[in-house]
Amino acid sequence: MMMIILMCLLAGTFGFEEKAVLSRYIRSTNICAPNEFQCVNKEACVSKHRWCRERNIFNSRDFCPDNSDGKYCNTYSTCPFKDSFKCDDGRCIPSEGHCDGYPSCRDGSDEMRCGCEEIFENEESILFKVHIGKKSFKCWKIEVPSTQYLSIKIRDLNQYRYACSEAYLVISGEKSSSDTIRLCNENLTSSLERYETTEIRYYSTMRSYSHLSQEHQFDYFQIDLLSADLLCKRMDSFKCTDYMCVTPEQRCDGIVDCYNSADEKGCERGVLAVPGVNVTLIRGVSWLKNQRTASWGWRDSTHRAVGALYLAQGANFNGTDKEEDLTAKQLELQLTTAILRNGTDPITSTQLAMYINALLVICHDPRNFYGYNLVQTLRDQIDVETNEYHPLPYLALCNAKETLPEDIIEKLTSIIESTSEKSFLTDVQSVAVMALSCISRKGNFSQLESKINETTHAFKKGQNEDGSFGNIYTTALVIQALLASGKEEDKDWNLTAAIEYLQSQQNVNGSFGDVLATTLILPILNAKTLADIANIKCTESLRMPRDGNPVSDIELRLGQKMSVKYYLYIGDKMDEIHPIFLRTPNNITVMDVMRLAAEADDKYKFEAQRNAKGKLYIYKIYGISNDPEDGKFWIYFKKAENGTLTTSLTSPDKITVQDKDEILMWYKSAAIEESK
C-alpha cells in the first residue's frame, strides 16, 4: 500500500515533466522514430515492441497517454480502423507498421511477405535490432554488376537463442544456390565476398526464456557492405576509392579516369611541375574571361578564346554553365554572320580553321553547322589557295579527324624543311610540327618522326639564355610544338626556363600583353596545345543540341538501321504518354536514343549530369524536373514483349539498345522496389 502511495506521490511531484519524457519507451513528440508508433492524439510515440504488451502499475507510463494503442490489441475478422493492417493472429496495427522492417505484429506477419529492401550504394551498413519477443523476417538485396564484387563484413551478431533455428542469417546468390550460407553466433564468418547479386535474410522465432528478462533483450547485428570494381582485386591496380580502381596504365596518363581525379594527382611532371605555374594559369584565365563582352564575346578573337579557355581548363562547354553556353552562342552567331558575309568579305582558310577548332571544343559538329559542311569547305578552299606558309588549316582538319592525303603531308613536310629567310618561318614551322604530330598519332607515319625530330632539334638549339625562342608569340608557338611532338621532358632543352620566361611576361592584371599572346600561352600552362583539340570526346558531353538543326555524333555512325520505340510516361497513372518511333544505327545506347529523340522533337529534350560514382543522372525531361519534395523522379524502364516493365541501375550510356526494343522514361513516384 505504501508503495502505491509513494508512486502516486512521485507521479504528482514529477507530472509536469510528462510532456518532455514520459518513460524510456514513450516520448512526447509528434515526430516518431522508425521503431515507434504515433498515438492517436499525436502527442506521443510509443516503442513498437511495447504495442499490446500487458499493462500493470509498474509499466503504465510506457503506453500512449490516451490509451489509443490498446484499441489495436483485440482480435478481429476485419480491422475496423482506418489505415490499419491485420496481423495473421487477428490483431491490427497501424498501416505504417506494415513492411517497415520491424515486426510490429506479435507473430511477425506484418514483415513476412514484404520482399527485399534494395541497396544501391557502393558503401552501406545494415544496422538491425529487434525484440526477441517478436517473430521476425527481414531481407536485403544488393545488386552486384558483372564488373564488380561485393564484400560483406558481419559485425556484432548477437542473438538470444538455444538453437540456430531460432535466429539466423542466410546469405545467398541470385543464381548460385550452392553458395548459400547460414550464419549463427557459433559459426560466424566475419568476412565474405560475392560475385553476383546477393540477398541477405534474417529469420527469428518468437522466444521467451525464464532465465532472461525478455523485456530488455534484443537480437542485433551490423553488416558492412562494399561493392567494388573487380579491377581492385589486382595487386597492381590503382585505387581511386575503396570501391573504384583503374589499371596502372591509366595512372598519370594525363586523362582523368577516377571521378575524384585521384589517378592524376601527384603526377605533376614537365610543365605542371614548374613552381607557380598554376597561379600564373589562374590569373591568365581570369583576365581573359574578364575581356569578354556581354554582346560580342571577344569579338574577332572569340574562336581563339574558346579554344584557349578549354585547353587551359578555364571552361568545359558541357552545358552546365550559363556563361559558357552564352559564349558558345556568341561563337555560333559570329560564324553565322561571317558565312552570310562571305560573298563580300570572304572567310580566309586560317579564320575558318580557327572556327572549326572552336566548334570542336563546344562539341558542335563542323560538318553540319546548320546545314554547312565547314570541313569540306575548308578542304575545297585550301585546294585553290596558296598555303605554303599557313599550316593551321591542316591542323584543324586533323583535329576534325579528317583523313589527309599524301600531298598535304608533303606540303607540311616542305614547310618544316624550308630554309627561307622570312622572319616568321619559325612561327609557321611550329604550327606545321603540331599538324604533323597530330597526323602521325593517327596512322603509320613513322617516316614523319625523323623529320619532326630534325625540326624540333633546331628549335631547341635556338633557345635563348632567358628561356625564350624569340618574341613572346614565337616562344609560345615553339613550346606548343615541342609539347605536341612529345618533347616536353627531353633533356636537350630547358623547359623550366621557357615556362619561367612566359611567367615573367605576365602583367599584374594577369594578361600577357594582349588577347593573342594570352590565348597562345594559357594552353601551355596546362601542358596542352592546339593539337590536343583532336582528343576531345564529344560523346561524353551531356549538353543537349542547341537551337537549329545540329547533328549528333551518333548520326555519323555507319551501318544498318534498327527500329526503336521510345516513350515518355508522365504521372503515376500514366496521365500523359508521348511516343516516338526512331530508325537508329545498331549498337547504340539508351542515351543515344534519348539524344536522337531530342533532336527530332523538342519535347524529348533532357538534362543530365554524372553523379559522384560516374553514373548518368537524368534529372529533367520535357521541361519537368525531378521533384524530391514530392517524391517524383524520372525512372528508366524497358518494356518486355508481354508488357512487363523492368528497370536497371546501369548508367543510360552503358545500356545497349536492340532492334525493336521499347524503352521509356517515366516521371512517377519513386519506390525502391521498382528499381531492379
CB 566 within 8 A of CB 593: yes
Report residue 665: phi and psi, to 5°.
-115, 125
Please check if 187 is assigned to a binding site: no
How far apart CA 450 and CA 610 sit, in angstroms, is 43
Nearest alpha-carbon partner for 199 in 137, 251, 264: 137
Element (H, E) at 138: strand 136-142
The reply, when asked if residue 202 is annotated as ligand binding, is no
C-alpha 288/C-alpha 422 separation (Å) is 31
* Ramachandran quadrant class, 170 (left: phi over 0; alpha: psi -120 to 50; beta: rest): beta
Return the SS3 of 369: strand
Crossing angle of helices 277-290/495-504, nearest 10°?
Answer: 40
- Using DSSP's 3-state secondary structure scheme, residue 126 falls into strand
Q: Which residue has the cell 496495427?
A: 93
Place of cell 548460385: 176
> How far, in Å, CA of 63 to CA of 51, rounded?
8
CA angle 281, 543, 340 (to 5 degrees): 85
Cα 473 to Cα 227, 237, 430, 480: the distances in Å are 52, 42, 11, 11
Instruction: Tell me how far apart the alpha carbons of residues 306 and 359 are, in angstroms, rounded to a whole number.
Output: 9
Q: Are 348 and 534 in contact (CB under 8 A)?
A: no
- Strand-pair category, 561-570 with 662-669: parallel
Side-chain-side CA neighbours of residue 575 (13 Å): 5
Closest CA to 587 of 621, 559, 627: 559
168 is in an annotated binding site: no
Helix 472-484 / helix 515-525 crossing angle, nearest 10 deg: 30
**What does the block give as the cell for 12?**
504528482
Q: Is 602 annotated as a binding residue?
A: no
Strand order in the sheet with 606-610: 606-610, 616-621, 624-625
Q: How far apart are CA 447 and CA 444, in angstroms?
A: 8
Query: Which grid coordinates are listed for 53?
Result: 504488451
Q: Count other Cβ atoms within 10 Å, centred on residue 454.
A: 11
Strand order in the sheet with 45-47: 21-23, 26-27, 45-47, 36-38
* Residue that has been written with the C-alpha cell 475496423 in this structure: 80
Measured in Å, how far apart are the chain's first and last C-alpha atoms? Answer: 62
Collapsing DSSP to helix, strand or coil, 343 comes out as coil
The DSSP annotation for 14-42 comes to SGGGTTTEEETTEE--SS--TTEEE-TTS
CB 184 within 8 A of CB 164: yes
**How many angstroms separate the CA atoms of 355 and 10, rounded?**
86
Cell of 183: 550464419
Most distant pair of Cα atoms in the chain: their distance = 120
Pairwise CA distance, residues 77 & 86, whole Å: 9
Write down how long the chain is.
Answer: 676
The H or E element that residue 427 is part of is helix 425-440
- Calpha distance 449→436 (Å, rounded): 9
Annotated binding site: 427, 471, 617-618
Annotated binding site for cyanocob(III)alamin: 427, 471, 617-618
